[in-house]
Amino acid sequence: MNVIRTLTSLVVVFAALAVTAFAAPKSIKVATDATWPPMEMVDANKHIVGYDIDFLNAVAKEAGVTVEFKNTAWDGIFAGLDSGQYDAIISSVTITPERSAKYDFTDAYTSIGQILVVPKTDKTSRTIADLKGKKVGSQIGTTGAMEVKKVPGVESKTYDEIGLAFEDMAAGRISGVVCDEPVAAHFALQKKEYKSKFKIVGKPFTKEGYGIVVKKGNKELVALLNKGIKAVKAKKLDVKIHTKWVK
């Protein structure tokens, strides 16, 4: 009888642990690759700022949690989530079937498209295909890099940070850069050293939704963040954040 009671107690304990393994937290640690302006970047005071940062802070306030941001290189950002270094990722991450198979995502909090940036001296290119025989840059592991690799005859050159791709294009080492619309606008239209050199061409050729990434199975955190996202959108706080960061 004692053995049966002990086993029963253990079953109850393990069941409780399973339920609470992903209990809703009071604070969360979130990774971001702060090299993707205006979405996430480091300002002159070494603070992590940007659209995603303001958005998640607003979401956290509505959801009743606090956030600690961790600046993390893109090439290791998913591995860090896998190993438990942080609870979530907000870093302009497009929701894709491949990523959704391995991770859980919140509802999409904004939508963007990939677009092409070329030197102003280029009078003919409107699409990636127009750059056959040339090098086109993008950030490694992004949907922009995936789009470049789809085009036959174009040489894909990837970078750890998107800013390095624009530096190479300014130096004449590559002929185009593919990235998200807000990032393209930042570098091509607003950055003083580049706005006289680069232009955005054509129209966005993808339609993508950004989501906050969490470990597979962490439904409680997804639900908490979705609650915050819904509240932010209902109060039109996302419109104010967009106006502030996306010119």
CATH number of the domain bearing residue 82? 3.40.190.10
| Token pair 């592991």: residue | 141
Collapsed DSSP state (helix, strand, coil) of residue 57: helix
95 and 69 inside one domain = yes
Cα atoms found within 13 Å of the Cα of residue 115, Cβ hemisphere only? 19
Name the maximum alpha-carbon separation found in the chain. Answer: 86
The pLDDT of residue 26 is 87
Tell me the average pLDDT of the chain: 92
* pLDDT 10s digits, 156-192: 999 999 999 999 999 999 999 999 999 999 999 999 9
Amino acid at 160: D
Residue range of the domain that includes 193: 114-201
| Token pair 């954040």: residue | 241
Collapsed DSSP state (helix, strand, coil) of residue 124: coil
Backbone phi, psi, residue 133, to 5°: 85, 0
Whether 23 shows a pLDDT value over 80: the answer reads no
Q: Is residue 227 part of a domain?
A: yes
Q: Is residue 22 part of a domain?
A: no
The pLDDT of residue 24 is 58
The pLDDT of residue 9 is 46
Cα→Cα distances 176→121, 129, 136, 192, 236, Å: 12, 11, 5, 19, 36
State mean pLDDT over 219-233: 97
215 and 106 inside one domain = yes
106 and 218 inside one domain = yes
Q: Is residue 166 part of a domain?
A: yes
The pLDDT of residue 3 is 42
Whether 19 shows a pLDDT value over 80: the answer reads no
How far, in Å, CA of 215 to CA of 229, rounded? Answer: 18
The pLDDT of residue 18 is 44
The pLDDT of residue 227 is 97
Is the pLDDT higher at 9 or at 247? 247
What's the domain count of the chain?
2
103 and 135 inside one domain = no
The pLDDT of residue 11 is 44
31 and 85 inside one domain = yes
Backbone phi, psi, residue 226, to 5°: -65, -35
220 and 180 inside one domain = no
192 and 213 inside one domain = no
* pLDDT 10s digits, 72-102: 999 999 999 999 999 999 999 999 999 999 9
